[in-house]
Amino acid sequence: MPQFNDLGPADLVHLTKTGNKHRYGTFFNTAGVDTSNSATIASHLMDVVKVFHGKPQTWFGKSKTYSIEKAVFCAFNAFSKVDARVTIHVPGSTEVTLVGANGPVEGSERLWLETYISSIARCLLTSGEDEEELNHVVETRRINPLTSVTGAETFFQAFEAMFWDGPRLGAACDVQVPSLTNNYLVDTFLKAVEVTRKFDTALEVLHRLQERDPRVISIVAQVLLMQDEEVKAIQTIAHGIRANPRNAALLILQAKYLMEKSQYAFALAAATQAVKASPSEFRPWEILTKVYVAMGEYEQALLTINSCPMFANKERYSFKRVTPVNRNNLHLPLPIDATLEAVTGLNAMAIQEEQLNADPSLMNLQATGLKSTFAAAYDLLTDIIHRIGWEKLLKVRTKVFVMEEEYRKGEGNESYLKDSTQKKDNNGTTAGDAGDSGFKTKRLCERWLDHLFMVLYDDLKVYTLWQTELLQFQAQNMEYKKSPLEWELLGLVATRLRHFKEASVAFTNALTGRFSVKSTRRLLKYFQKEKHKLVKLSQSGEETALAPAQIAKSLATLDTKIVEFSVNLTVWDHRWYIEYSPTLILALAGIVSEKGVTKVMNQIVAKYTSEGEGVVELMNDTFLLFEEFGFAGVDAS
């Protein structure tokens, strides 16, 4: 247990089974189970036992019947580094033990509260648009931890009680030091608010906390922005900054808002103050870079990236196996209650063959392995190159950084090196803000940034070759053929380089060959962004080449695709024992709020009643969730 990092491993269920005079052990991971006390865990274990006990099960292609002797549930308390274990004997008693690094510990309400928060945090913070990239532990069942208003209110109460211990839980990979308002607990709270839409309840909790610590105002502002209460949010941010001009979280929020409104000069002032307030954290430097890029100040942008504090020892939190698993002992049965042939009927051997025969230049791109702050810094670089191109980027790089040839000529003496490696002056401003003109104003490029330029070059080379070959094939009226995996990889390259339209074409081509979860997720995100642009365009009143009827038609097409892709991904998730995805819930909620739940349900019934088995029933669970939380559009006809 002392080796567990961040939030720890997923909860674990272990079953002891007997059959044919032999005893077997089976385990799987789970996320989203109510671990607030031993009774709720025991109830969940009994539900699991009922599925297995005395009923024929297909294991490794053979029908077998087992009796369950014992079931154990383990949940890691990430606050106190304690493992909560509940054991039920069938039939028989229930045992509860809490085990720390040095042995058993005495149970308390506080420890169970910590365990409950830890379990929900693990579930919500690994439920994102890149689920298949975050969770390589495929033997994990994920259920919704917030299925009712009562359950959501229970979580908010637990959050309030545990708020002051939030930094003990750790923080995201781009946060150097967890703070009271920037940690995994706050991230979990914001995700819960977003997916339940219980804004008023959340704000009540935050206002009570704010009375004890004014810094909570930054979380209040985030919830108000999430609620689309823009005026209140901006007033809150302004009030908080007047009270504490060095509140980096509020300054970052202000800079982001001003950037969205194209008020770059004011955004620059806010971002600069954020860096001064928190120079050792990555996020202030990141927003400052984005402001410089938006202003066209590419030299300052590069210098700012070079000054970013980088965290090489942190990765984005994801589930990891506690012990290695022999693949021969891994049994992943296909759920048969909800299937869709195009999604769940994939040929595993054909996919494996694709991987073996895929172009190595696509499979081995280093950009796919970038993590944490290095991935974020790479994204900043791609924003610059998308605006000015590779050649101009190299010129800017040469202008602000010392090149190897210059260094070897002897210009980089000891005193120069000492001066040039200093990133910030005493006021926390970037190195490029002061200094003489000419050679001595140049700075040494950090090794990691130099490496990112090489990674960027590899991505550009692949993308340029693809586009050149495509034009040549089109000129000769020939089909440009790639495997679904190769199309997917090309789409990811284009996405990283911000060529989103070209990426959507590649992902669409990948889906013509077979279903691809990654391509589907990326296209869903693309459709949502395109819809947002069209809605914004139609509401702006600006002149456009598109007639109102054309915009309406495009929006209708996008809505249809969003629903279709959300259904396909829900079926895919169900195949892999995932019953809860905030990304898909929010995607469908947006359509329902505009069209009404009846119209969306009718669309699903019309398309999937004949195509799939149990798909309509599976989607009904999502619509019942909307009804429970009173989402917009549920009562619309």
Res. 161 pLDDT band, cuts 50 70 90 = very high
Task: Let me know if residue 16 belongs to a domain.
Answer: yes
Least confident interval from 114-128, 233-247, 397-411 = 397-411
**Number of H helices and number of E strands within the chain?**
26, 11
Return the number of other C-beta atoms located less than 10 Å from residue 447's C-beta: 8
Number of structural domains in the chain? 3
Share of the chain above pLDDT 70, in %: 90
Q: Find out whether 198 and 629 touch, Cβ atoms under 8 Å.
A: yes
Q: Find out whether 562 and 584 touch, Cβ atoms under 8 Å.
A: no
Degrees, nearest 5: CA angle 550-632-624: 115
Q: Find out whether 7 and 170 touch, Cβ atoms under 8 Å.
A: yes
Q: Averaged over 391-401, what is the pLDDT?
A: 94
Closest CA to 216 of 192, 198, 189: 189
Return the number of other C-beta atoms located less than 10 Å from residue 106's C-beta: 6
Write down the pLDDT at residue 1: 66
How many angstroms separate the Cα of 85 from the Cα of each of 38, 76, 145?
9, 9, 19
Write down the pLDDT at residue 431: 41
Q: Averaged over 160-166, what is the pLDDT?
A: 97
How many angstroms separate the Cα of 368 from the Cα of each of 223, 357, 456?
32, 19, 11
Amino acid making up residue 183? N
- Same domain for 103 and 187, yes or no, is no
How many angstroms separate the Cα of 547 from the Cα of each of 275, 501, 537?
45, 21, 11
- Same domain for 64 and 94, yes or no, is yes
Domain boundary among 256, 277, 298: 277
Res. 228 pLDDT band, cuts 50 70 90 = very high
Q: Judge whether residue 633 has pLDDT over 80.
A: yes
The separation between the first and the last C-alpha atoms of the chain, rounded to the nearest angstrom, is 53
Mean pLDDT of the chain: 89
Domain boundary among 277, 294, 317: 277
E-assigned strand segments in 336-451: 339-340
HSE, CB side, 13 Å, CA atoms: give it for residue 230: 5
Helix intervals (H) in 541-613: 548-575, 582-595, 597-608
Look up tokens 């195009």; give the residue.
342
Task: Let me know if residue 439 belongs to a domain.
Answer: no
Res. 133 pLDDT band, cuts 50 70 90 = low
Write down the pLDDT at residue 335: 84
Burial 307-344 (b: 16+ CB within 10 A, else e): bbebbeebebbbbeebeeeeeeeeeeeeeeebbbeebb
Domain CATH code at residue 240: 1.25.40.10
Q: Averaged over 262-282, what is the pLDDT?
A: 96
Query: Tokens at residue 637, please?
Result: 């006809």
Closest CA to 307 of 279, 274, 349, 348: 279
Task: Let me know if residue 93 belongs to a domain.
Answer: yes
Least confident interval from 84-88, 399-403, 464-468 = 399-403
- Same domain for 246 and 198, yes or no, is yes
Q: Averaged over 424-449, what is the pLDDT?
A: 59
Alpha-carbon distance 112 to 77, whole Å? 8
Q: Can you say whether the dihedral through the CA atoms of 129, 134, 138, 143 is positive or negative? A: negative
- Same domain for 52 and 109, yes or no, is yes
Query: Structural domain of residue 224, as residue ranges?
Result: 149-277
Write down the pLDDT at residue 416: 43
Q: Find out whether 574 and 338 touch, Cβ atoms under 8 Å.
A: yes
Write down the pLDDT at residue 402: 84
Closest CA to 124 of 192, 201, 202: 192
Least confident interval from 26-30, 116-120, 202-206, 324-328 = 324-328
Query: Tokens at residue 540, please?
Result: 């702006």
Alpha-carbon distance 586 to 596, whole Å? 14
Task: Let me know if residue 428 belongs to a domain.
Answer: no
**What are the pLDDT digits (tens) for 251-261?**
999 999 999 99
- Same domain for 536 and 625, yes or no, is yes
Alpha-carbon distance 306 to 321, whole Å? 36
Res. 433 pLDDT band, cuts 50 70 90 = very low
Q: Find out whether 76 and 120 touch, Cβ atoms under 8 Å.
A: no
- Same domain for 172 and 135, yes or no, is no
Alpha-carbon distance 390 to 384, whole Å? 9
- Same domain for 175 and 92, yes or no, is no
Res. 214 pLDDT band, cuts 50 70 90 = very high
Task: Let me know if residue 411 belongs to a domain.
Answer: no
Alpha-carbon distance 159 to 60, whole Å? 43
Q: Judge whether residue 569 has pLDDT over 80.
A: yes
Query: Tokens at residue 252, please?
Result: 């970052």
- Same domain for 258 and 240, yes or no, is yes
- Same domain for 135 and 23, yes or no, is yes
Most confident of 99-108, 452-461, 571-580: 452-461
- Same domain for 68 and 185, yes or no, is no
Amino acid making up residue 122? R
Across the chain, which distance is largest between two alpha carbons, in Å? Answer: 85
Least confident interval from 21-30, 66-75, 129-138, 144-153 = 129-138
Domain boundary among 105, 122, 141: 141
Whether omega before 91 lies within 30 degrees of 0, making that bond cis, reads: yes
Query: Tokens at residue 414, please?
Result: 């000891």
Q: What's this model's pTM, rounded to 2 decimal places?
A: 0.90
Write down the pLDDT at residue 430: 44
Task: Let me know if residue 322 belongs to a domain.
Answer: no
User: Which strand (E) or helix (H) includes residue 86?
Assistant: strand 82-89
Q: Find out whether 173 and 125 touch, Cβ atoms under 8 Å.
A: no
Q: Find out whether 581 and 145 touch, Cβ atoms under 8 Å.
A: no
**What are the pLDDT digits (tens) for 514-543?**
999 999 999 999 999 999 999 888 887 777
**What are the pLDDT digits (tens) for 507-516?**
999 999 999 9
Q: Please name every residue paired with 15 in a beta bridge, in sequence order, or none if there are none.
A: 26, 71
- Same domain for 192 and 229, yes or no, is yes
Q: Judge whether residue 422 has pLDDT over 50.
A: no
- Same domain for 183 and 268, yes or no, is yes
Task: Let me know if residue 333 belongs to a domain.
Answer: no
Q: Averaged over 310-325, what is the pLDDT?
A: 84
Amino acid making up residue 375? A
How many angstroms separate the Cα of 636 from the Cα of each of 124, 600, 621?
29, 11, 18
Query: Tokens at residue 260, please?
Result: 């969205």
Write down the pLDDT at residue 149: 96
Write down the pLDDT at residue 139: 82
Q: Can you say whether the dihedral through the CA atoms of 440, 446, 450, 455 is positive or negative? A: negative
Task: Let me know if residue 223 belongs to a domain.
Answer: yes
Closest CA to 186 of 211, 212, 168: 168
Q: Which carries the bigger pLDDT value, residue 59 or residue 565? A: 565
